[in-house]
Amino acid sequence: MRSLWILLLLPLAACDGGLWNNPYPLADDGRSILYTAFIERPKHLDPAQAYSENEYDFLALVYAPPLQYHYLKRPYQLTPLAASAMPMISYLGKNGRPLPENVAPERIAYSVYEIRIKPGMRYQPHPAFVPANHMLKLGDISTLGDFRQTSTRVVTAADYAYQIKRLVHPQLHTPIAGVMSEYIVGLKDYAATLQQAARTAPGGFIDLNAYPLPGVEVVDATTYRITIHGKYPQFAYWLAMPFFSPMPQEVERFYAQPGMKERNLTLDWWPVGSGPYYLSENDPNRRMVLTRNPYYDSESYPSEGEAGDADAGFLADAGKPLPLIDSIVFSLEKETIPYWNKFLQGYYDASAISSDSFDQAVSVGVSGEATVSEAMKAQGIVLDTAVSTSTKYTGFNLLDPVTGGDSERARKLRRAIAIAVDFEEFVSIFANGRGISAQSPIPPGIFGHREGCAGINHYVYDCVNDEPQRKPVKEAKRLLAEAGYPDGVDAKTGQPLVIHFDTTATGMGNKSRLDWLRKQFDKLGVQLDVRSTDYNRFQDKIRRGDTQMFFYGWNADYPDPENFFFLLHGPQAKVAKGGENASNYSEAEFDRLFEQMKNMESGPTRQAIIDRMLEILRRDSPWLWGYHPKSYVLRHGWLHNVKPNIMANNKLKYWRVDAQQRDRLRREWNQPLRWPLWAGAGLVLLFVGWMGWVLRKREQAR
Amino acid sequence: MIAYLIRRILYAVPILIGVNLLTFALFFVVNTPDDMARMQLGIKRVTPEAIEKWKQQRGYDKPLFVNSAAGGTDQLTDTIFWQKSASMFVFDFGYSDDGRSIGREIAKRMGPSLAIALPTFLIGLVVYVSFALLMTLFRATALDMAGVALCVLLMSVSGLFYIIGGQFVVSKLWHLVPISGYAGGADSFKFVVLPILIGVAGGIGSSSRWYRTIFLEEIGKDYVRTARAKGLSELRVLFTHVLKNAMIPILTGVVVVIPLLFMGSLLTESFFGIPGLGSYTIDAINAQDFSVVRAMVFLGSVLYIVGLILTDISYTAVDPRVRLQ
């Protein structure tokens, strides 16, 4: 046993001279590295296929699409990234003739986006840029690191055009292929052509450049044009997503070589970009590492922001070349407890707050303001909060004979339920106050959202001191009676009203939430039948319209009201059209205003239309508007330039870390306690000694 | 013995076909290929065309068992079951639903799983047997009673408690090892110490009690009385005679799990961030990745059969009366 202890302790004692509980190599001490975590491994890293937030955490730093969101300015606005300036937009009529800039949207047949990219941008070092690597017998090669030679090349406009063609590649699944095919001229036909080519040579490499795409034109090495149908101002937001990043064709050819896929060497696994970082280590079972792209020199820290940014220190690094951190280490942490404890030990620079740790981390003042707890403050931990550009709502199925329809009876029933279900209480109990109750589908920070009394849903709330105050339950009961269900009983049949609620929430963890929801309906005397089911069955029910009420959510693709209103747009109803309108809501005036509003530039006219649309929605109440979650992120004091930005996925390139301060504090916080080892070893020795003594005595006694 | 082994290996073929069939049936009773596609493609902007394309690319657009539209043997071979199952018998596991080589993943993840499971198994065996012998040595004394009570107590505690408690005390309070994580090579030591200790501690209760029962049964036999009569010390009696004669039941429980060590531990790997096969399996189940699930079930079955054969062989090593025919 003693030798076992020695065996165990020897390597610990020789543990690289650093802190015993340091999960990182000693060589990393003092280096400009950001340590963070990911909870779920990304499914896709191909910019044509990735669409999830956890995939964009990597891709937005590896790829450089033409545009990005300004890091500091609010409301969110686009700014050039790879483009040298914002795209020049010109409009054409049906005959192809140019139209003036202020022409009525219905006269615009085509919009042309001319994009000039910054000259001289280069890709990350990669073996695909070495011609010799395209004719190799792979042999012993099993990782990209096994290729002896890497190189780079200048980014061209043709690479951007190539990536747009990839959006309809028959061997890829691009989530936005359908949307883009509606807009980019010729993309639908181009997709059909590629399908035909794929059928002709199954499994072979398809040369996308062999087929022309009329809506995408390469003007010269640094200029390309995209022509879309009609006027679609939101198109610029898509240009800020990795879908529109540059893709060199030789990279696709490189990965298409025989034997590559068998070795997990694919573009979906090993991205090749021109952004500030490249993926130098990709082990999504353990960790993924982004390293500074040595050829990235086209961007510097912004020199202007919004009022107060200079005082807050956000402009201290203005003009410095980006990125400010050399390397970003993402470690896989599936469980919240280890993640949280490692953050407290200083081994993660920032952390979200789980419900378990909320009380330990955050103090909520009498007026509801959140600050870090004293214990966190003592460690120099800072809390950053922001309202997400997302919404969590409870939808009614408008096709259902009880909860649906556009009769006054149905509206009153839905509004009664909307008053009864107290989302302020829900946020307080189940989200630790991290959210604000929604007055409409549009969250704060998105054009169309109004603050104060003007933005209140007056069907559910009263405006008191410029704040929303939920109407009393008696108002809900009155509406319910008018809807034909006095005290929750159907006046015609005498049967109690039962509402079915479909959810994927199952198990003990969700019981309290579902019990709470039942209680809300109890206020009206209405019975709530919770139908918990798995994710697939739930999706199936939504698709078939076999629900009455359901819980759903939406994260904005881009900060525009169109990206929320389309969730209620009649022609995009789930049952009839397979669209995103899961409530199957359809209202003629709303649909007409939606078509009008979606192509308008933001301004007073658009705001007036949005106000009317919101009034219609609030009147019809197809959703319980639910709440807009608030993101709470804790970070250590050594991490600088952290300004919450919900839209930007590439914000880590602006962050700066004081590695010396981090090292000092880590050492202060993590000195190993050796006495338990000595005590343990002593106890073992004592026990062994005592055992020997007892045995000797017993043998002597025999 | 060779004939016996060949016969056992041949027996394994219908067993593996049966396991495969059962896994396939159970999986597709719960999930349809459409469900799998939706799970992979996410929620936003998923069109019916995208689902069809996903199924077609991965071969899930075929019938499950019988393709009545095909002719001849294609009726059976041009089906999801055949396409996904036949290649596994030559250990070609194909690709996961997200397009990665399953064989490569298994090869890569086997190391970390073994780095935890093998030391836990070996150290655990020594500790459990020693503790059980100790209780046997002091049988019917206060020490034995205390040992049994301790075993019952340890058995009653959830495995999760050991993990969270171990992380809290050893990593968070004492700062002796990292809370979670993994590194390759010699650097892995500080990451695997705690999972191994917790794994060993978590098994003391049940294993030691079981071994104690075996030893107590042996210690009442005639040959033990004879050994004592010869004047051998109690320690010698226990460690050379009792232990040797108790090997058959010990081997029955021990050898069969050796091959399964490759499969890793679901809970430990998840909490300690160990990139092993246990977490691979649980991730695949959560993602409804049938390709990985059936590969891991198949591999588990093969390893279990190998374990049973090894157990039989081990009997011949410890008991000369046993002959494999």
| CATH architecture under which domain B114-318 falls | Orthogonal Bundle (1.10)
What pLDDT does A6 receive?
Answer: 45
The string of pLDDT tens digits covering residues A334-361 is: 888 899 999 999 999 999 888 788 888 9
Instruction: Give the closest residue to A626 by CA, choosing from A444, A450, A424.
Output: A424
CA distance A16 to chain B (A): 9
For chain B positions 21-80, those within 8 Å of chain A (CB to CB) are 31-32, 35, 38-50, 53-54, 57
CA distances for A169 relative to A60, A156, A208, B57, B61, angstroms: 21, 21, 8, 13, 19
Which whole number is the average pLDDT over A153-182? 94
Question: What band does A319 get if pLDDT is binned at 50, 70 and 90?
Answer: very high
Sign of CA dihedral A152, A153, A154, A158: negative
Out of B41, B123, B177, the one facing A21 most closely (by C-beta) is B177
Which residue on chain A is closest to B167 by alpha carbon? A338
Which residue on chain A is closest to B54 by alpha carbon? A173
Out of B42, B178, B235, the one facing A22 most closely (by C-beta) is B178
- Cα–Cα distance, B174 to B167 (Å, whole number): 10
A169 touches chain B (CB under 8 A): no
Q: Name which residue leads in pLDDT, A1 or A607.
A: A607
Residues in chain B: 325
- Give the least confident one: A2-11, A166-175, A620-629, B143-152: A2-11
What pLDDT does A294 receive?
Answer: 97
Instruction: Give the closest residue to A569 by CA, choosing from A579, A555, A554.
Output: A579
For chain B positions 131-190, those within 8 Å of chain A (CB to CB) are 134, 137, 164, 167-168, 171-183, 186-187, 189-190
Q: Determine, for residues B100 and A175 on separate chains, whether the beta-carbon distance falls below 8 Å.
A: no
Q: Which helix (H) or strand (E) holds A189?
A: helix A187-200
B233 touches chain A (CB under 8 A): yes
CA distance B9 to chain A (A): 29
Q: Determine, for residues B190 and A676 on separate chains, whether the beta-carbon distance falls below 8 Å.
A: no
Which residue on chain B is closest to A557 by alpha carbon? B44
Is the per-residue pLDDT at A19 higher than 80?
A: yes
Q: Name which residue leads in pLDDT, B34 or A501.
A: A501
A42-63 as b/e, with b when 16 or more CB fall inside 10 Å?
Answer: bbbbbbbbbbbeebbbbbbbbb
A701 touches chain B (CB under 8 A): no
What pLDDT does A13 receive?
Answer: 47
Which whole number is the average pLDDT over B104-109? 90
Is the per-residue pLDDT at A12 higher than 70?
A: no
Is the per-residue pLDDT at A14 higher than 50?
A: no
Mutate to test the interface with B, among A506, A533, A536, A563 (most CBs of B within 10 A): A536
Beta strands A287-292 and A327-332: pairing type? antiparallel
Q: Determine, for residues B45 and A51 on separate chains, whether the beta-carbon distance falls below 8 Å.
A: yes
Which residue on chain B is closest to A168 by alpha carbon? B50
The string of pLDDT tens digits covering residues A180-225 is: 999 999 999 999 999 999 988 887 889 999 999 999 999 999 999 9
Highest mean pLDDT among A570-584, B51-65, B72-86: A570-584
Q: Name which residue leads in pLDDT, B51 or A616.
A: A616
Which whole number is the average pLDDT over A597-601? 88
Which residue on chain A is closest to B287 by alpha carbon? A43
Question: What band does A577 get if pLDDT is binned at 50, 70 and 90?
Answer: confident
A335 touches chain B (CB under 8 A): yes
Counted across chains A and B, CB pairs separated by less than 8 A come out at 153
What pLDDT does A1 receive?
Answer: 47
pTM, two decimal places? 0.89
Is the per-residue pLDDT at A380 higher than 50?
A: yes
Instruction: Give the closest residue to A650 by CA, choosing from A43, A67, A114.
Output: A67
Q: Average per-residue pLDDT in chain A?
A: 92
Is the per-residue pLDDT at B92 higher than 80?
A: yes
Q: Which own/partner contact pairs does A142-151 have at CB distance under 8 Å and 24+ positions apart?
A: A142/A263, A143/A263, A143/A265, A144/A265, A144/A270, A150/A125, A150/A126, A151/A125, A151/A126, A151/A127
CA distance A123 to chain B (A): 25
- Give the least confident one: A9-13, A188-192, A469-473, B271-275: A9-13
Q: Determine, for residues B273 and A264 on separate chains, whether the beta-carbon distance falls below 8 Å.
A: no
To 10 degrees, the CA torsion angle through B246, B250, B252, B255? -130
Out of A335, A341, A695, the one facing B235 most closely (by C-beta) is A695
Q: Which residues of chain B have a CB within 8 Å of the CB of A578?
A: 47-48
What pLDDT does A536 receive?
Answer: 79
Out of A44, A334, A337, the one facing B167 most closely (by C-beta) is A337
CA distance B11 to chain A (A): 32
Which residue on chain A is closest to B193 by alpha carbon? A8
Q: Which own/partner contact pairs does B234-242 have at CB distance under 8 Å and 24+ positions apart?
A: B234/A695, B234/A698, B234/A699, B234/B137, B235/A695, B235/B137, B238/B133, B238/B136, B238/B137, B239/B133, B242/B133, B242/B136, B242/B215, B242/B218
Is the per-residue pLDDT at A21 higher than 90?
A: yes
Q: Determine, for residues A580 and B45 on separate chains, whether the beta-carbon distance falls below 8 Å.
A: yes
Is the per-residue pLDDT at A366 higher than 80?
A: no
Q: Which residues of chain B have a CB within 8 Å of the CB of A266?
A: 99
What pLDDT does A367 receive?
Answer: 67
Is the per-residue pLDDT at A242 higher than 80?
A: yes
CA distance A494 to chain B (A): 39
Q: Name which residue leads in pLDDT, A121 or A205.
A: A121
Q: Which residues of chain B have a CB within 8 Å of the CB of A268?
A: 98-99
Contact predicate B182/B269, CB 8 Å? no
Mutate to test the interface with B, among A4, A194, A335, A667 (most CBs of B within 10 A): A335
Contact predicate A349/A636, CB 8 Å? yes
Which whole number is the average pLDDT over A226-240? 95
CA distance B109 to chain A (A): 9
Q: Name which residue leads in pLDDT, B2 or A133.
A: A133
Q: Is B143 exposed, middle or buried (0-12, 13-18, 19+ CB in 10 A)?
A: middle
Residues in chain A: 702
What pLDDT does B1 receive?
Answer: 78
What pLDDT does A9 receive?
Answer: 52
Which residue on chain A is closest to B47 by alpha carbon? A578
Which whole number is the average pLDDT over A357-377? 84
Q: Which residues of chain A have a CB within 8 Å of the CB of B41?
A: 173, 175
Percent of the residues in chain B that have a pLDDT greater than 90, as a whole number: 35
Percent of the residues in chain A that have a pLDDT greater than 90, as a whole number: 75
What pLDDT does A122 receive?
Answer: 97
Q: What is the ipTM of this complex?
A: 0.86
Q: Determine, for residues A341 and B187 on separate chains, whether the beta-carbon distance falls below 8 Å.
A: no
A51 touches chain B (CB under 8 A): yes
What pLDDT does A8 receive?
Answer: 52
Q: Determine, for residues B279 and A285 on separate chains, whether the beta-carbon distance falls below 8 Å.
A: yes
Is the per-residue pLDDT at A317 higher than 50?
A: yes
What pLDDT does A10 receive?
Answer: 47
Q: Which residues of chain A have a CB within 8 Å of the CB of B42?
A: 51-52, 175
To 10 degrees, the CA torsion angle through A661, A664, A668, A670? 100
Which whole number is the average pLDDT over A482-491? 94
Which residue on chain A is closest to B280 by alpha carbon? A285
B230 touches chain A (CB under 8 A): no
The string of pLDDT tens digits covering residues A424-455 is: 999 989 888 889 999 999 999 899 999 999 99
Highest mean pLDDT among A240-249, A256-265, B196-205: A240-249
The string of pLDDT tens digits covering residues A160-169 is: 999 999 999 9
For chain A positions 404-463, those within 8 Å of chain B (CB to CB) are none
Q: Determine, for residues A175 and B104 on separate chains, whether the beta-carbon distance falls below 8 Å.
A: no
CA distance B283 to chain A (A): 9
Q: Which residues of chain B have a CB within 8 Å of the CB of A691?
A: 134
The domain ranges of chain B are 114-318
Is the per-residue pLDDT at A130 higher than 90?
A: yes
Contact predicate A396/A414, CB 8 Å? yes
Which whole number is the average pLDDT over A19-46? 93
